[in-house]
């Protein structure tokens, strides 16, 4: 059809062939093949060129709509194959987006691949891995590794310090004897934990850190999400160990305390995806995340 349109606009097969950077005989054969396929005559041959028949005029009019659409389809197909167009469905554990790395890498990807549609949803780690396996999301920022990683690609991105969320009225906070508290100082406190069954990473990190500090934590009320955990802290029902990036969440009645001493618990931030995912857009996202994580020698929280 491109050959036909070029010939119709030139009004001459030889001139059309020159514009198309091809020889005249192959162009003539293409025009004749198109006429045979359609079963109509498109051109009337004249001594000094060709002119369109009525059927040819109809096809030329249609080609001006069809050819740009075909070109756009070709370009879209090529962009999709290169990962420049498509969709990436992102899952995130509740505390993951508070780490500045997550919004930073998503923003960088949007700038690099503006034609790729991004969707983001929050779930606890257990649900994230299940949704990943069920092809409901493409990648997942998580805190705790799955018990079974079969079929998944797991990339550790960075770690950040854990700190204590403490009620404002807690005597430890009021004490002016030291600027920082060690984890051992909280041995007599009640610890509020969250996501124990469906996202146990931070719960396990809390218990392990307390054991390293020489005591078993006294566990209080269990909260399903980090927001409810901080609300329970604000109500004076206990303390909670949280990733340092949670300091961005300002809650009345809660003070965040960095930890000193030999026990310095860390919170993991990692990315999960399906092994061998065929989506080029997903592969581009993974490459960008891993590259930016490697370049983050000093993560900002």
pLDDT in tens, the chain (301 residues): 899 999 999 998 889 999 899 999 999 999 999 999 999 999 998 878 899 999 999 999 999 889 888 887 777 777 777 667 789 999 999 889 999 999 999 999 999 999 899 999 998 888 899 999 999 999 999 988 887 888 899 999 999 999 999 999 888 877 645 557 899 999 999 999 886 765 567 788 889 999 999 999 999 988 878 888 999 999 999 999 999 999 888 899 999 999 998 999 999 999 999 998 888 899 999 999 999 999 875 545 5
pLDDT of residue 163: 93
CA–CA gap between residue 183 and residue 200 (Å, rounded): 20
**Alpha carbon distance 9, 88 (integer Å):** 43
Residue 161 pairs with which residues in a beta bridge?
266
The CATH number of the structural domain formed by 160-266 is 3.40.190.10
**Do residues 240 and 265 lie in contact, with contact meaning Cβ atoms separated by under 8 Å?**
no
Q: What per-residue confidence (pLDDT) applies to 47? A: 79
| Cα 292 to Cα 285: distance, rounded to the nearest angstrom | 11
Q: What is the per-residue pLDDT for 80?
A: 73
In the chain, alpha helices (H): 2-10, 13-19, 24-38, 54-81, 101-112, 125-133, 171-174, 201-212, 226-234, 280-295
Which fold would CATH assign to domain 86-157+268-295? Answer: D-Maltodextrin-Binding Protein; domain 2 (3.40.190)
Locate CATH 1.10.10.10 in the chain. 2-81
CA distances from 186 to 134, 214, 216 (A): 41, 11, 11
Question: What architecture (CATH level 2) is domain 2-81?
Answer: Orthogonal Bundle (1.10)
Give this prediction's pTM: 0.72
The pLDDT score that the predictor gives to residue 142 is 92
How far apart (Å, rounded) are the C-alpha atoms in residues 118 and 62? 36
In sequence order, the β-bridge partners of residue 87 are 117
Structure tokens at 243: 């990733």
> In the chain, which residues fall in CATH 3.40.190.10?
86-157+268-295, 160-266
CA separation for the pair 14, 31 (Å, rounded):
12
Q: For residues 92 and 121, is the Cβ–Cβ distance under 8 A?
A: yes
């Amino acid at each position: 059809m491109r050959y036909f349109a070029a010939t119709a606009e030139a009004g001459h097969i030889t001139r059309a062939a020159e514009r198309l950077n091809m020889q005249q005989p192959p162009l003539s054969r293409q025009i004749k093949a198109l006429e045979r396929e359609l079963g109509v005559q498109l051109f009337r041959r004249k001594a000094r060129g060709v002119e369109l028949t009525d059927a040819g005029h109809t096809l030329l009019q249609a080609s001006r709509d069809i050819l740009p659409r075909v070109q756009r389809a070709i370009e879209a197909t090529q962009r999709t194959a290169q990962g420049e167009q498509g969709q990436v469905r992102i899952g995130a554990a509740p505390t993951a987006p508070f780490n500045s790395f997550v919004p930073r890498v998503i923003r960088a990807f949007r700038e690099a691949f503006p034609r790729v549609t991004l969707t983001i949803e929050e779930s606890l780690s257990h649900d994230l891995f299940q949704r990943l396996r069920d092809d409901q999301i493409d990648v997942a920022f998580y805190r705790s590794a799955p018990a079974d990683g079969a079929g998944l690609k797991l990339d550790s991105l960075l770690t950040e310090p854990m700190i204590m969320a403490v009620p404002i009225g807690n005597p430890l906070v009021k004490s002016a004897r030291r600027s920082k508290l060690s984890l051992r100082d909280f041995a007599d406190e009640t610890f509020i934990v969250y996501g124990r069954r469906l996202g146990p990473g931070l719960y396990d990190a809390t218990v392990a850190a307390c054991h390293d500090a020489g005591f078993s934590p006294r566990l209080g009320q269990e909260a399903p999400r980090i927001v409810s955990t901080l609300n329970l802290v604000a109500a004076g029902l206990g303390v909670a160990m949280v990733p340092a990036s949670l300091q961005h969440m300002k809650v009345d009645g809660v003070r965040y305390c960095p930890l000193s001493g030999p026990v310095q618990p860390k919170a993991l931030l990692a990315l999960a995806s399906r092994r061998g995912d065929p989506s080029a857009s997903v592969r581009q996202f993974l490459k960008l995340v891993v590259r930016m994580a490697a370049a983050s020698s000093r993560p900002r929280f």
